[in-house]
Chain A
Amino acid sequence: MKRIGVFVCHCGINIAGTVDIKRVVEAVKNFPGVVYVEDYKYMCSDPGQNLIREKIKSEKLDGVVIAACSPTLHEKTFRNTVSQAGINPYNCEIANIREQCSWVHTNMEEATEKAIRIVKSIVAKTLLDESLVPIKSPVVKRALVVGGGIAGIQAALNIANSGYEVVLVEKEPSIGGRMAQFSETFPTLDCAQCILTPKMVDVASNENIKLLTYSEVVDVSGSVGNFKVKIKKKAKSVDYEKCTGCGICVEKCPVKVPNEFDRGMSERKAIYTQFPQAVPNKPVIDRENCTYFQKGKCRLCERVCPFGAIDFEQEDEVIEEEVGAIVLATGYELYDVSNMGEYGGGELEDVIDGLTFERLLSSSGPTSGEVRRPSDGKVPKTVVFVKCVGSRDPEHHFPYCSKVCCMYTTKHAMLYKHRVPDGKAYIFYMDVRTAGKGYEEFYQRAQEEDGVIYLRGKVSKIYKSDGKLIVDGFDTLTGRKVQVEADMVVLAMAIRPSSGAEKLFNLLKVSTDANGFLTEAHPKLRPVESLTAGIFLVGCAQGPKDIPDSVSQANAAASMISVMFSQDYLIHEPIITGVNEDLCSGCGICVAVCPYDARKINREKGTVEVNEILCEACGACAAACPSGAAQQKNLTDRQIISMIKAILEE
């Protein structure tokens, strides 16, 4: 039997005020396995810790129980203390007689009795504790960033600048993401391109970043520290080694299709670069619209290219990369206007979404920054902005707040007034949320200086009458129905996760919430980690957020990854739930309940295997296992039963 020493802490009067320490010490002396008991005023202090170390040596202890505060507070402290005296730290256990006893009781008699039983059960547990060694696994010091928007760019740059290699995958031909489409950014109104494009150039010129545009992640295996990722590089039909980005091919291409980057308000060619500041600034051929790929003739671009860079034979290529960590920065898209039947369902040409209006405001947009409505190119004299369209509507659409619309709608109205000073801007809102530095001032400025009219109420419908858009709404503040004859309406559509992202999330087995956004490991304390170790979430993939928040998250994720890569091995708590292969029947119930994807069935052996690095010892499998094969280290069924016995024993 183990030789266990019990050290009872007074914690000043925190414990001693409610628990009779002397009685506890006397009672503990008689427990099986206990060879030494001592109490001290502050066990966590230096003299207290010295006392423990001395007694371990003099009394030849091989197990230690500290009766004190919650293990979340000092378990680590005391495990360090005992290991300095030569005991395996996992043979040291904490009996919580403060948070779970003295602090929640007033009756000394009863509290003392409870404290004795708590200590007794922990002694029973300690008797059966195994010596454990932390699990080590090697780390591949490379990261994968999926998504080349502002969040992905920021994360990639930071990881790369810490000295680690980054593979940045972007599905579009250029990085830049949504931010590249924006006109000016709130609350300072600096131009989005001006602050974004230098970062894009940094990405391209950073030696540690391997940029894969026009590419998608198609398969992921492995786990934290050692992921194997398959990436499909879609055929660009242009040899980027030879191409200089001169643009002659784009100029000569005879095919014109709607330009997605300008939300369909301008045209692009079948061979195209997304926008003038694209990185890489080289074109791709959109095969679905290319005359050669569809009808077998044309090849005009090939003839005009002075460098012979056009390569019609290029094929999709799948490459494999090994990485230690993955950052998901897959971004967002807007809920489609066609979902709003009462607002025209996408049939009214001049009822547009916020992103489309950004393009109208952008100096590099289809109208060079002049506000001209899509239907006839006229300058609208009355513009209505509607907030919370699809958001905050659990009955018909989505329950959540899209967070950025309050600010960008204010910005839209403000910029509209700057461009069309004699125009009228009305904003229908339910609430105005301006929590952010300088945001409230920005909102006040829109009203005070730019004369934007705010109407508090939801718009019930928008329809066309006599060439005007009629907006039916209500001003709940005056209690009156409002009707606005508008030339153009801008809807602040709900923010949705990117449509292609769901497939990737399923591939990675990262969990999402009811709305499709990625779930963080802890909403406050682990906001950029997913529940799957080694996978990080940044930007709007995790939930609607603005540029400063996306950048902060990207910085946070990058710093967490740098910490991870600064070690040669990943160290993982040895307290995991293993498998007793003699008992395991391979039924797979534990595999289904594991939230961390740490367990899988080995078909050859017919038993379940555990990935020790992924296991977080939540115990779900241990509870679910019908044969008792899944046992948590140092919290086995045998230990739990003996603890219960110890507590209930008279």
Chain B
Amino acid sequence: MEPKVSIKLPAKDAARVERFAEITGVNVFACYQCGNCSASCPATEFMDVPPHQVMRYLQLEMFDEIVKANTCWICAACITCTAKCPRGIDIAKAMEGLRQIFLEEQEFARYNIFDIKKKVLEKLPQIALVGNFRKNIL
């Protein structure tokens, strides 16, 4: 019987890996898992998977796990993680990259601009709206 493993390496998600690198330019291998991003993030408690674990999944190319998590959608892009990271990794940019990849793939896009209520829309920062709008049209 084949032994049961929960992480099989190497993962095969080459297209997303390439797209992620292209969009963000973030070298995820600089991360040494200190957890400072997760400690300083004001929204960690609302995330299924804390930011440093998203970075770990990125190192192992486990995009399927990231898709399942709400992390990048909870992320408010406050950039505290980036400011705190001792290795100078732009984690906020990584989150933005993930959002863009999943939006491009449509089926994984959690939010569609047309589903957003008018009341909420009025409160949303313009840049978030424009960005979202552009991604949806593409």
Chain A residues packing against B (C-beta within 8 Å): 342, 388, 392-397, 430-431, 456-461, 472-476, 479-482
Contact = CB atoms under 8 A, between A and B. Distances in A.
Given A393-B86, A395-B85, A430 B53 contact: no
B65 interface: no
Contacts of A395: 85-88
A392 B86 CA distance: 7
B29 to A, nearest CB: 14
Contact of B38 (A393, A431, A474): A474
A458 B86 contact: yes
Contacts of A479: 38, 49-50, 53
Contacts of B13: none
A472 B53 contact: no
Contact of A459 (B33, B39, B49, B85): B39
**Interface of chain A, main secondary structure:** loop
Contacts of B38: 457, 474, 476, 479, 481
A456 to B, nearest CB: 7
User: Which has the most chain A C-beta neighbours within 10 Å: B50, B84, B86, B87?
Assistant: B86
A395 B34 CA distance: 14
B40 interface: yes
B86 A472 contact: no
Given A430-B34, A479-B50, A473 B87 contact: no
A409 to B, nearest CB: 16
B36 interface: yes
B86 A457 contact: no
5 contacts: A394-B87, A430-B32, A459-B36, A476-B52, A481-B45
Contacts of A397: 86
Contacts of A396: 86
B49 A458 contact: no
Contacts of A461: 40
B39 A472 contact: yes
A295 to B, nearest CB: 49
Given A388-B34, A458-B36, A472-B40, 11 more contacts: A392-B86, A393-B86, A395-B85, A430-B33, A457-B39, A461-B40, A474-B52, A476-B33, A476-B50, A476-B52, A481-B38
Contact of A458 (B35, B45, B50, B88): B35
Given A474-B50, A479-B53, A481-B44, A394 B36 contact: no
Nearest to A342: B84
Nearest to A477: B35
Contacts of B44: 474, 481
Interface in B34-86: 34-36, 38-40, 44-45, 49-50, 52-53, 84-86
B74 to A, nearest CB: 14
Contact of A456 (B35, B45, B49): B35
Nearest to A430: B34
B3 to A, nearest CB: 24
Contact of B39 (A392, A394, A474): A474
Q: How large is the interface on B (under 10, 10 to 19, 20 to 34, 35 or more residues)?
A: 10 to 19
Contacts of B87: 394-395
Contacts of A388: 34
Contacts of B88: 394-395
A407 B131 CA distance: 49
A430 B40 CA distance: 15
Contacts of B40: 460-461, 472
Contacts of B53: 476, 479
Nearest to B52: A476
Nearest to A479: B50
A481 B32 contact: no
Given A456-B35, A458-B34, A458-B35, A394 B86 contact: yes
A460 B34 contact: no
Contacts of B86: 392-397, 458
Nearest to B45: A481
A603 B85 CA distance: 53
Contacts of A457: 34-36, 38-39
B40 to A, nearest CB: 4
Contacts of B35: 430, 456-458, 473-476
Contacts of A480: 50
Nearest to B82: A395
The 8 lowest CB-CB distance pairs between A and B, nearest first, are: A457-B35, A474-B39, A460-B40, A393-B86, A460-B39, A395-B88, A458-B36, A476-B35
B42 to A, nearest CB: 10
Nearest to A476: B35
B44 to A, nearest CB: 5
Contacts of B36: 457-460, 474
A393 B39 CA distance: 16
Interface in B75-112: 84-88
Nearest to A461: B40
Interface string B16-33: 000000000000000011
User: Which has the most chain B C-beta neighbours within 10 Å: A397, A431, A479?
Assistant: A479
Nearest to A480: B50
A393 B88 CA distance: 9
B9 to A, nearest CB: 20
Interface string B105-137: 000000000000000000000000000000000
B50 to A, nearest CB: 5
A476 B56 CA distance: 11
A519 to B, nearest CB: 25
Nearest to B81: A460
Given A474-B38, A476-B38, A460 B84 contact: yes
